Amino acid sequence: MILSKKSVFLILISVIISGSIGIALFSYIPVLLKTLGYEAPVIQLVSTIFPLTTAVLPPIMGRISDKIQRRAPFFIIGSAGVSLVLFLLGFADNLILIAILMFIYGFMSANYMLIFIYYQEIVQNNSRFIAYYNAASVLGWFLGTLFGGIFINFYGIQILFWILFFISLSVIFIVIFIRENRQLILEAFEEVRSMGEEGNPETRPEKADISRSIYLALFFRNFGIRPIVAVLAIIMAFFISNESEIGFLLGFNFLLQFFLMILIGRIINQKNLKLILVIGYALSAVTIFGYIISIDFWGFLICQILISFSFAMFWNANQIYIAQKTTPKNKGKYVGYANSSFYLGGFLGGIFFSGLLLINSDYFIMMYSMIIFPILSTLIIMFGFKKPVR
């Protein structure tokens, strides 16, 4: 049973908009810094501020929201804070100011992310609706990637942040109409628990029986593949000279993920959850190898299809597993742990990959070293993951 169809609709719309803003911001912040004359090492350093803040802050904000049993104040403040950062970026032409604003953006995003916690609660951890949320996120990424480049081509990089600012105001307008009824959420959870439904969350208020392999697998997978995805446009440019084809390949990944998120959400259940996790992580390793051996548009297209399946499978399975093992009393903390593992892996993996490139600047040789990490994630799930029980 869905506790508030209105809130579900408003949340999904806000996630599409905020996702498009976020991907556009982090795709083109490096362009702004390059335009201002900063060198690649400085650009890379500033670009890692957001992954670092999103690795540290989500569990903290989640614990606080669990303790006070409120979610709405966090995602309302977060959406307002994002708008403020985008407004100030419209004036920014100083490296220190941009770095500070990116840190603030990370803090505000950590607050806004609690909207997913609230969403899980009002859909009562329904796997199909959790998949809809993930699909809305990647749809936003697709739109942000597509239209961000168009805006820059027509209006310039500085104007992009003003456009994003005005778009972000709609998110504030949407989330202020979301009404949080904690009593209804707690009563609905107790009713489900008392009925002993399949997939019933852990009954203890503070501790959930979640396999630690989940967090380790998230960390190592993102450690291995996130740094490569960050320079994927550069890797493709070695073999594809047409920028439109490269842009299509990058955007196609997100568009395909939208449909796959919905599909995987419909077929996933407790019996096949572990299998979907294993296949999802294994495909990440296969994709890295595919990026190494691809030499034309069609090779990279196949890789983008593989990475879309990979993300849709392991991410949906992780979110659904954690949602159904947690309660309104501890959900913020454990979802925060998952987000931290994911982003911390990307942050440290980026530093590791940068170090490898200092040793040898050949992307393709160094990428062989990164295959081991999603393979490690696959093995961790195969041998360390406990299947959910009734």
Q: How far apart, in Å, are the Cα atoms of 219 and each of 48, 106, 150, 244? A: 16, 19, 34, 33
What is the percent of the chain with per-residue pLDDT over 70, rounded to a whole number? 94
Which 3-state string (H, E, C) describes 284-342?
HHHHHHHHHHCCCHHHHHHHHHHHHHHHHHHHHHHHHHHHHHCCCCCHHHHHHHHHHHH
Indicate whether 119 and 260 sit together in one domain: no
Q: Which domain does 26 fall in, by range?
A: 1-197
- Domain stop point among 165, 197, 229: 197
Same domain, 172 and 256: no
Show which of 197, 215, 247 is a domain's final residue.
197
Q: Are residues 356 and 324 in the same domain?
A: yes
Q: Exposure of 192 by Cβ count < 10 A (0-12 exposed, 13-18 middle, 19+ buried)?
A: middle
Instruction: Mark whether 84 and 177 lie in a shared domain.
Output: yes
Whether residues 176 and 218 fall in one domain = no
- Which one of 131, 163, 197 terminates a domain? 197
- H or E stretch at 349: helix 331-359
Predicted confidence band of residue 123 (pLDDT cuts 50, 70, 90): very high
For 6-39, what is each residue's pLDDT tens digit? Answer: 999 999 999 999 999 988 887 778 777 877 887 7
Q: How far apart are CA 52 and CA 312, in angstroms?
A: 24
- Write phi, then psi, for 337 (nearest 5 degrees): -60, -40
Please state, as a whole number, how many other Cβ atoms lie within 10 Å of the Cβ of residue 73: 13
CA 158 to chain centre: 25
Q: Is the same domain home to 332 and 210?
A: yes
Domain co-membership, 135 together with 247: no
pLDDT at 168 over 60: yes
Query: CA angle at residue 65 from 60 to 71, to 5 degrees?
Result: 125
What are the pLDDT digits (tens) for 282-339? Answer: 999 999 999 999 999 999 999 999 999 999 999 999 999 999 899 999 999 999 999 8
Range of lowest pLDDT (82-86, 185-189, 245-249): 245-249
pLDDT of 172 higher than 90: yes
Is the domain of 23 the same as that of 122?
yes
Q: What pLDDT is recorded for position 202?
A: 44
Helix (H, G, I), strand (E, B) or coil at 356: helix
Q: 142 and 95, same structural domain?
A: yes
Q: Which CATH number characterizes residue 249's domain?
A: 1.20.1250.20
Higher pLDDT, 194 or 301: 301
Q: Is residue 212 located within the same domain as residue 190? A: no
Q: What is the mean pLDDT of the chain?
A: 87
Same domain, 156 and 189: yes
Rounded Cα gap, residues 123 and 141, in angstroms: 23
Residues 156 and 293 occupy one common structural domain? no
What is the number of domains present in the chain?
Answer: 2
